Amino acid sequence: MNTKPQIHLVWLKRDLRLHDNEAIFNALSSGKRVLLFYAFEPLLLNDPHYSERHWDFVKQSLEDLNQALKPYNSKILVVKSDIIAALNQLLTKYKINNIYSHKETGILVTFDRDKSFKRFCKNNLITWTESKNNGVHRGLKNREKWTELSNRYYEIEPLKFNPQANQLLPIDEINELEKSFKTISLKTKTNTPFQKGGRTTGLKYLKSFFDSRYLNYMHHISKPDLARISCSRLSPYIAWGNLSVREVYHQAYHLKKSSKNKKALDAFMSRLRWHAHFVQKFEMEHTMEEVSINKGYHKLKKSVSEKYQIAWKTGQTGIPLVDACMRCLKETGYLNFRMRALVVSFFTHNLWQPWQEATTHLSQMFLDFEPGIHFPQLQMQAGETGINMLRIYNPIKNSLEHDPNAVFIKKWVPELKDLDTAFAHQPYLMTEMEQQFYNFKLGVNYPHPIIDIDTTRRKASDALWEMRNNKLVKSESARILKKHALSKKHLNKT
């Protein structure tokens, strides 16, 4: 006779919130006792896509969750373990018939892990219920019904967190459980330049954005410095699940009724919907993690240059805006969208490096690393989808337009801070006499450009436009459009 106490388990992954969390809502709706659980899995801790900044954000999010759970006399069971090993250990203590989590659109290792976990649950007669996350649907063959499904998701009011009295396992019981596991400290460094994890902080960013910052959203969205204030800065809180896209969308929708800048909110809400669009694309074609979605571009060969890549990663290319962006990203974990596109364009077009060579460095740097955004965007900016407009960003044109006074450049490339604005944008135009006047030596104080922008741009443009006429590229483009693109009819319904 099985005398083990029965519980339902919620396996938290990239949904680190209590509110509008369908997995938690479904577990609590069962009426059974519920344990909230998170595992720091070695397969992810050691994966090259992640870095310390990500795990610190997760730890801060878990600490914030534990604070929110104190009134319920509960907390998250946090362990360092493979998921199946952790479940086997829990099964020695409890009878677990039901496990709840969200459907994760993650990297290949999590996809393979989930397949193994599904077999484990089946072998142990456990029902594993996976819930939709942010309007992304699994198993779709094309996008014909996606807009309707997505709209239904957004029409639902965000789910409330409302456990019954004593439904969550109490702190004392979880403290006892921890003795059976390898645990991990949730303490992190303070006073870092990174955004702090957790729903509490995420809600502060949300409030300040909707209170006033959104008013300049469209005016400053492309500015590398001003965007840091006028953009929402919610991306890490959405990527790691402190906030759901749906609850942010609902707040924007309600604010729009009384807003003085409805266009800004329309633009912001549109981008929230595009978030789900790109994640859905990755959900439907996960091979994008390793190869171009358009098979015609698999024939595109680029020579790998370690010298170029090191210069790009360290912000020593001799192109001020590119270097400012890469240094800023390393220091703070954030760049606005246009600057992200620009540094990828420079890497793949001007340096003519394979986009795959940029994947792990950028994922480690982006605090808001979201696989479903990361890989489709890399390929789109590299010009290897066959369906998107080829964009090769000119870093000089962009710095003059979007950082006209070189404020951003001089902040992140201090070697140039004493130069006149024109030279801060293009220090390589200085004559020997001008360098002496500024006590500045090109090649000593700041590197010469490692490539010629115009020459490399033409070379990349010619090569990529020529490939668009390739028979396989064309047939793949048609396939991609049929599978992933939204028709005008469906776009008009969003």
Contacts of 129 (CB under 8 A, 6+ apart): 23, 26, 98, 99, 100, 101
Buried b / exposed e over 19-42, threshold 16 CB at 10 Å, is bbbbbbbbbbeeeebbbbbbbbbe
Instruction: Tell me the pTM.
Output: 0.96
List Cα–Cα distances, 454 to 236, 281, 349, 459, 467, in angstroms.
35, 33, 11, 9, 20
Q: Among 76-85, 280-289, 331-340, name the one with the lowest average pLDDT.
A: 280-289
Calpha distance 319→393 (Å, rounded):
13
pLDDT of residue 422: 97
Q: Which of 253, 20, 13, 280 is nearest to 137 (CA)?
A: 280
pLDDT grade for 78, boundaries at 50, 70 and 90? very high
Question: What integer is the mean pLDDT of 336-364?
Answer: 98
Domain architecture of the chain: domains with CATH: 6-178 (3.40.50.620), 199-284 (1.25.40.80), 295-484 (1.10.579.10)
3-state secondary structure of 325: helix
pLDDT grade for 491, boundaries at 50, 70 and 90? very low
Residue 247 above 50 pLDDT? Answer: yes
pLDDT tens, 132-163?
A: 888 898 888 888 888 888 899 999 999 999 99
Question: What integer is the mean pLDDT of 8-36?
Answer: 98
Longest dimension (CA), the chain: 91
Calpha distance 230→54 (Å, rounded):
24
Residue 314 above 70 pLDDT? Answer: yes
pLDDT grade for 487, boundaries at 50, 70 and 90? low
Question: What integer is the mean pLDDT of 286-298?
Answer: 95
Contacts of 212 (CB under 8 A, 6+ apart): none
Task: Tell me if 422 sits within 8 A of 400, measured CB to CB.
Answer: no
List alpha helices for 41-170, DSSP H: 42-45, 52-69, 83-91, 108-123, 146-155
Residue 89 above 60 pLDDT? Answer: yes
pLDDT of residue 3: 86
Of residues 388 and 351, the one with the higher pLDDT is: 351
Q: Among 32-36, 176-180, 480-484, name the one with the lowest average pLDDT.
A: 480-484
Reading across the β-sheet that carries 77-80, which strands appear in turn?
Answer: 77-80, 34-40, 6-12, 95-102, 127-131
Position 410, amino acid: K
Q: Which of 417, 395, 397 is nearest to 406 (CA)?
A: 417
pLDDT of residue 485: 85
Question: What integer is the mean pLDDT of 24-31?
Answer: 97
- The HSE-up count of residue 321 (CA atoms within 13 Å, CB side) is 32
Position 346, amino acid: F
Question: What integer is the mean pLDDT of 81-101?
Answer: 98
pLDDT tens, 198-221?
A: 999 999 999 999 999 999 999 999
Instruction: Return the percentage of the chain with pLDDT > 70, whole number.
Output: 98
Calpha distance 41→45 (Å, rounded):
6
pLDDT of residue 488: 53
